[in-house]
Structure 1
């Protein structure tokens, strides 16, 4: 099918910083191959600036023109940003990823952590999804209408405001429970209500109330510190974990490392109408441009994006395309092909070629 057909996906490609150019370029190839193999609609890519390149060309790490273009798209694939490398005047305010999440109300951050055969793992049966509330909580760049939730009334006093609302908690809870119905029907609510009873206690209680609408799903809850220990000791026993922003950020990185590596950690940021595929890892500037980056996390994030679009379009070919990508990555690992960060010898481009071959064969 032609990529210019009327029902083609309109996706943005945002390279960002560091290894972004390499992994985004290869992800675009993988998406196109999977769509063709699944006989799904084609894709029209819109490249958009972000990061140091955008500063050089537009005097901003995230130009307003990028926001404007994103508004007209079905979704986008975003590479990492390296905010620490920006000139001082561009390190003020939220980083590009946070700004995009806030502007488009990408309130759900879905972060699966699974072990792959062929990847050394501390928890070889790990298969958990962290559903992270993405719009408020203890994240200072997202929890206020204007300004920041973190401030200093004096040079020697720093304060941070954590925001939990019923509305935001209800909508993320529904995401978690709907997801659990497609998996093993178990949701664990993570909070810290023993010391933050009003904020995380509200989060716990509202999630539990939503759970009553899903009688087929088992519900339990854990304190966040206990949950960290449980993931290490018996992570394979958990299915879907729903929690606030900061807790979700920490627990998802922990679960990813226990399952094998942050380099394989996929992530989807979404609202009810639009989604962004963005790997959980950073920009790795020390290996940028050397064809050594591990693209698998962004491949898997793109697979999540295609399945998300398939569900909303009621188009099983898009879901199938996403499944093909995940199968291609898993089969490549199982065959013993991996990049250097996972102990392998494959370059970025070599790993991609192996994944592409398996996408075609399935």
Structure 2
């Protein structure tokens, strides 16, 4: 029986509630399947890290994660941290940078029983995760933004062939498993060198996948196309900032950002992380929607099953996903989706469905 070591970072705000729910569901499925052992390793992050180790991401957490197969990360509330920590990378950016988690993979798919603004859609966005215009990730040391005068701020945007190539390959590999269509999103008509390099590199990579249809759009046009015809897109590959924006848009279009999952990967490890924030205004009220975090954890299991060629783990992922979806289809959901269930009641309903074999 294979054993997987999974780090657990609760985070801030609603993080402890939704991460706990995700861990409970996966633990229940693993026990039901009886073919896989998952060793969950709790580690400090966010306010917990500050209070116990003086850092949002303590060295202990980083060192332990290096020995994990992957980890589940809750949202952080870095805007509330003490001033000395606000000047550093936030916990998410720090882990992405430290472990070179270059690919942020964010699917958006309509769910039965959940109202979608765009009807049927099933797409996945591959967001380059290490550079672009995000100053907490695009420098070897320090941050890539400066105050030239008190009234002038300058932000560096970094675009490299290496980063563009590897996110493009990741997107095209996924496209080969799906509908064999990739959409490149950029702004090369205005930022000609940076986005021009990204676009040209993606096109060069595309030549290695002749079976895949390739198209490209400027970011402003792409936002409109997503609203008008989301169902026509399959795999989208883009840069850091554009991927962040488009994936939030796509998540809301197919139902709710609270349902939007994602993983971050470097090909050896992966981090499950819901696309939404920490929602401190509802923290501790037991009303948070844990589906985004749960489905992110399912994505992590899928990624691990593919990497380790483990069909047993793949079955665990499918059973978990099925139980989550069937629970929502049965009308049991949290208030943000029009239901009445609390976070713990929704989680309990999923676990009960698992224990009964889906009945």
TM class by shorter chain equals over 0.9
Which runs of structure 2 are paired with 1:1-362 in the superposition (5 Å)? 7-360=2-355, 361-362=357-358
Mapped to 2, the partners of 1:325 and 1:217 lie a distance apart of 31
- Separation in 2 of the partners of 1:158 and 1:359? 53
* Structure 1 gap segments, 5+ residues each: none
What is the TM-score normalised by the length of structure 2?
A: 0.97
Q: What is the CA-CA distance between 1:120 and the residue it aligns to?
A: 1.6
Q: Distance in 1 between matches of 2:76 and 2:105?
A: 19
Q: Distance in 2 between matches of 1:169 and 1:123?
A: 30
Any conservation in 2 of the 1:129–1:240 contact (CA below 8 Å)? yes
Mapped partners of 2:224, 2:316: distance in 1: 36
CA distance in 1 between counterparts of 2:72 and 2:236 reads 25
- Tell me by how many angstroms 1:64 deviates: 1.1
How far off its partner does 1:229 sit?
0.1
Q: Following TM superposition, by how much is the alpha carbon of 1:358 offset from its aligned partner in structure 2, in angstroms?
A: 3.4
Structure 1 counterpart SS, 2:6: strand
Residue 124 of structure 1: how far off its partner (Å): 2.3
- Does the Cα contact within 8 Å between 1:50 and 1:62 map onto a contact in 2? yes
Q: CA RMSD in A?
A: 1.2
Does structure 2 conserve the Cα–Cα contact (< 8 Å) formed by 1:38 and 1:318?
no
Give TM-score, length-normalised by structure 1. Answer: 0.96
Contact in 2 for aligned 1:48/1:66 (Cα 8 Å): yes
Q: State how far apart, in whole Å, the 2-side matches of 1:223 and 1:33 are.
A: 44
Stretch of structure 1 that moved more, 138-147 or 102-111: 138-147
Cα distance, 1:62 vs. partner? 1.4
Aligned length: 357
